[in-house]
Structure 1
Amino acid sequence: MTLYHFGNCVALVYVPYYLAYKHSGLSEYGAFWKCVQAGMIYMFTQLIKMMVLATFFPDNVEEFGSYLIGDFFKYTVDIADLVGLHFVLDGIPGKGHSKVLTAGIGWATAEVILSRALLLWVGARGAEFDWIYIQKCLESNILLVQHIATATLIWLRSRHNLNNNLKTVVTILLVLSCYKSLLFESLIHILKLGTWLGLVVKGAFTLAYGLFSLSIYAGMAELMGIY
């Protein structure tokens, strides 16, 4: 039973990533090693973030006046993820859709391997069933959509022919993406939402975030003729 639960969790986490890579056409572009490079940049970025957090942010967040303010400053370090994704996109040749998919899938895959593999191996193989691991697996799929959408917004932000009003909106969304976890945690705490309902809220926000990114990209792609 424990191995069955562990196998279900692994499939729920990693199969969508494999299908996204396989059916997005990236395998035809030979983008595997570019995804690996994106993962390496992800790991380097996380190392830099940990060094910054350890150096400038003490464990006792009460020194900042409150937990909320302390968390706000800590999540500000996530801007490094945007910089890392920007470097990934710059290093990928090809059209826009292949660049954003390679960067997004490579980045998301590295994150899910580093954040979920050990968790599932240690926890999901336990003697007792716990829904928390199913929730973590579903959250990983939400993160896949979010990272692809974020890569799309970063690519759009770098376009010189993007409308200034849209560029402002894109910039705001990118900045908000750094504080999404803080916003979700605060919202769940204030509204006293359960874990499942909180997951639904995250999924709904990510869906809207992704659809908005896709709509802007579709308009830009049609304008530039890069479908």
Structure 2
Amino acid sequence: MTLYHFGNCVALVYVPYYLAYKQSGLSEYGAFWKCVQAGLIYMITQLAKMTILATFFPDNMSDLGTDFIGEFLKYTVDIADLVGLYLVLSSIPGKGHCKVLTAGIGWATAEVILSRVLLLWVGARGAEFDWVYLQKCLESNVLLVQHIASATLVWLWSRHDLNKNLKTIVTTLLILCCYKPLLLEYFVQILKLNAWLDLLVKGTFTLVYGLSTLTIYAGVAQVMGIF
């Protein structure tokens, strides 16, 4: 039973990533090693972030409600993720949709491997069933959409021919992406939501965020002929 639960969790996490890679057509472009490159840049970026956090934000912080400013400054370090995505996009040749999908899927896959493999291997194979592992698996799928949307926004922001008004919107969405975990955590604490409602809030936010990004990208791509 525990092995069956572990298999379900692994499938729930990794099958959507595999399908996203195959069905997006990236395999036809030979983008596998570019996805690996994106994953390596992700690891370097996370190492840099951990170094900064350990140096300037030692782990002696109080809870969110009493030190909001400190937490705000800690999440500012997540701007490094946007820099990392920019470096990934700069190293990938090809059209816009190929670049953003390769960067987003490669980045998200590296994160899910580093953050979920050990968790599932140690936890989901345990003697007792726990819903927390299914919640973590579903959250991984939410993060896949989040990272593809973030890669799309970084690509749009890097274009010199982007309309000034649109660039302001894109910049706002990128900033919102950095502070999303803090805002959602604060929101969940205020409303005292349980884990499932917390996941629902994250999924809803990511859906709106992704649809907004898709709308901007589709409009820009249609006008500029960059599909």
TM-score by length of 1: 0.97
CA deviations over 1:198-224 (Å, ceiling 9, x no partner): 111110110110111111111111111
Residue 39 of structure 2 corresponds to which residue in structure 1? 39
How many residues matched? Answer: 226
- What does 1:18-29 correspond to in 2, within 5 Å? 18-29=18-29
For the residue of structure 1 that corresponds to 2:169, the secondary structure is helix
Residue 85 of structure 1 corresponds to which residue in structure 2? 85
Output the amino acid matched with 1:117. V
Output the amino acid matched with 1:168. T
Residue 108 of structure 2 corresponds to which residue in structure 1? 108
CA deviations over 1:109-151 (Å, ceiling 9, x no partner): 0000000000000000000000000000000000000000000
Pairwise CA distance, 1:175: 0.9
Choose 158-167 or 107-116, whichever is displaced more: 158-167
Output the amino acid matched with 1:116. R
Residue 183 of structure 2 corresponds to which residue in structure 1? 183
Residue 8 of structure 1 corresponds to which residue in structure 2? 8
Output the amino acid matched with 1:41. I
Residue 138 of structure 1 corresponds to which residue in structure 2? 138
Residue 197 of structure 2 corresponds to which residue in structure 1? 197
Give the Cα separation in 1 of the matches to 2:136 and 2:126. 15
Pairwise CA distance, 1:58: 1.6
Give the Cα separation in 2 of the matches to 1:110 and 1:191. 32
Pairwise CA distance, 1:107: 0.1
Give the Cα separation in 2 of the matches to 1:58 and 1:29. 44
Is 1:225 aligned to 2:220, yes or no?
Answer: no
Give the Cα separation in 2 of the matches to 1:226 and 1:132. 42
Output the amino acid matched with 1:66. T
Percent identity between matched residues is: 77
Give the Cα separation in 2 of the matches to 1:29 and 1:224. 22
For the residue of structure 2 that corresponds to 1:115, the secondary structure is helix
Q: CA RMSD in A?
A: 1.3
Is 1:70 aligned to 2:70, yes or no?
Answer: yes
Give the Cα separation in 2 of the matches to 1:188 and 1:53. 24
Give the Cα separation in 2 of the matches to 1:110 and 1:220. 29
Output the amino acid matched with 2:156. L
Is 1:53 aligned to 2:53, yes or no?
Answer: yes
Give the Cα separation in 1 of the matches to 2:68 and 2:126. 34
Choose 160-169 or 183-192, whichever is displaced more: 160-169
Choose 12-21 or 199-208, whichever is displaced more: 199-208
For the residue of structure 2 that corresponds to 1:179, the secondary structure is helix
Residue 118 of structure 2 corresponds to which residue in structure 1? 118
Output the amino acid matched with 1:200. L
Choose 31-40 or 179-188, whichever is displaced more: 179-188
State the 4+ residue runs in structure 1 displaced beyond 6 angstroms. Answer: none
For the residue of structure 2 that corresponds to 1:61, the secondary structure is coil
Pairwise CA distance, 1:65: 10
Output the amino acid matched with 1:113. I
Give the Cα separation in 2 of the matches to 1:58 and 1:196. 31
Query: Where does structure 1 lack aligned partners over 5 or more consecutive residues?
Result: none
Give the Cα separation in 2 of the matches to 1:60 and 1:197. 29
